[in-house]
Amino acid sequence: MAKIIGGITTSHIPAVGNAIANNLQDDPYWKPFFDGYPKIHDWLAEKKPDVVINIYNDHGLGFFLDQMPTFAIGAAHEYKNEDEGWGIPQLDPFPGAPELSWHIIEGMVEDEFDITSCQELPVDHGFVVPMQLFWPGAPHNKDLPRAIPVSANTVIHPIPTLNRALNFGKSMRKAVQSWPEDITVVVLGTGGLSHQLDGERAGFINHDFDRMCMEKIVDTPEELTKITRMELVEKAGAQGTEFLMWMMMRGALGKKVKLLTENYHIPISNTGAGTMLLECMDD
């Protein structure tokens, strides 16, 4: 049976893609951020997961406001990183795992989570930057797992609640675990943490709130579901709502997890950047 072995969170700021493209990992501005990744590289090199479920939020490449799915799951053979209008250089396609994608979609809809299935899905920096951070050289990294992108809407309100996000992960876990092949799966929760790009409050970052979220998500994620969506906007910033992706990931990890490493740094671009590696402890 398929097994979810752990979850990894990271910010997915476009500037990180540029820093990677320009080899700025040891630059004084970037080093405190990139220092959060070697322990995760070691863990991935040891575990070599077969599949990565990459939970991110599309930023206006894969979806427009004409048709905006609240929860979308990729079911393609490959995912192309297309032109976003600016920013990071485009990469070769990422191989998918469409049979498992469809199994997850079947399982979750059966479980009354209504999913938008995507047989084509251009992926933006939200998907690509984490892949590059965790599998350097991606998609040309021999250990790169096959990928399943999952995108949740944080572009337009109403966005899902934190409770719904956590329950999404729980439902996804059930679906993955019922896959008959003996494969291992790692789940990424990408985006955040606090930041706001728009309005007179642009540049808002909230260290204490981010730290509280990083602490509680380990053992008491249910407590975070009490945060309302408007409170999330207020405390995490308008784009800090990307924390929803972290909650979706956390729900997929089961009850008990072990925190293996974490890093938090302000600022990367306009953002409080958080990284965590959580290993699943449930049987």
Partner 1 sequence: MDINDFDHHTHIEGTTIFDGRMAMKGYGLNKMCFAFNRADMRDAFVADPEEFMDRYGLSEAQKIAVRAKDVLGMIAEGGNIYYLAKLAGIWKLSVQDVGAQQTGVTTEEFKQKLLDQAKPEGK
Q: Which residues bind partner 1 (CB under 8 A)?
A: 15, 59-61, 64-66, 82-87, 155-158, 196-205, 207, 228-230, 233-234, 238-239, 262, 264-267, 269-270, 272
103 is catalytic: no
- The three-class DSSP label of residue 187 is strand
Cβ atoms 94, 54 nearer than 8 A: no
Which residue, 5 or 233, is less far from partner 1 as judged by CB?
A: 233
- The three-class DSSP label of residue 208 is helix
Element at 6 (helix H, strand E)? strand 3-10
| Given the residues 12, 59, 103, 125, the one annotated as active site | 125
User: What's the sign of the alpha-carbon dihedral 82, 98, 166, 162?
Assistant: positive
Which residue, 157 or 256, is less far from partner 1 as judged by CB?
A: 157
Q: Cα–Cα distance between 135 and 81 in angstroms, integer?
A: 16
Least Å distance between CB 164 and partner 1?
13
195 is catalytic: yes
Least Å distance between CB 218 and partner 1?
13
| Given the residues 12, 59, 195, 265, the one annotated as active site | 195
What values do phi and psi take at 139, rounded to 5?
-85, 5
Q: Cα–Cα distance between 238 and 146 in angstroms, integer?
A: 32
Which residue, 111 or 262, is less far from partner 1 as judged by CB?
A: 262
User: What's the sign of the alpha-carbon dihedral 125, 80, 149, 279?
Assistant: negative
Least Å distance between CB 205 and partner 1?
4
Least Å distance between CB 271 and partner 1?
9
Which residue, 82 or 99, is less far from partner 1 as judged by CB?
A: 82
Which residues are designated catalytic? 125, 195
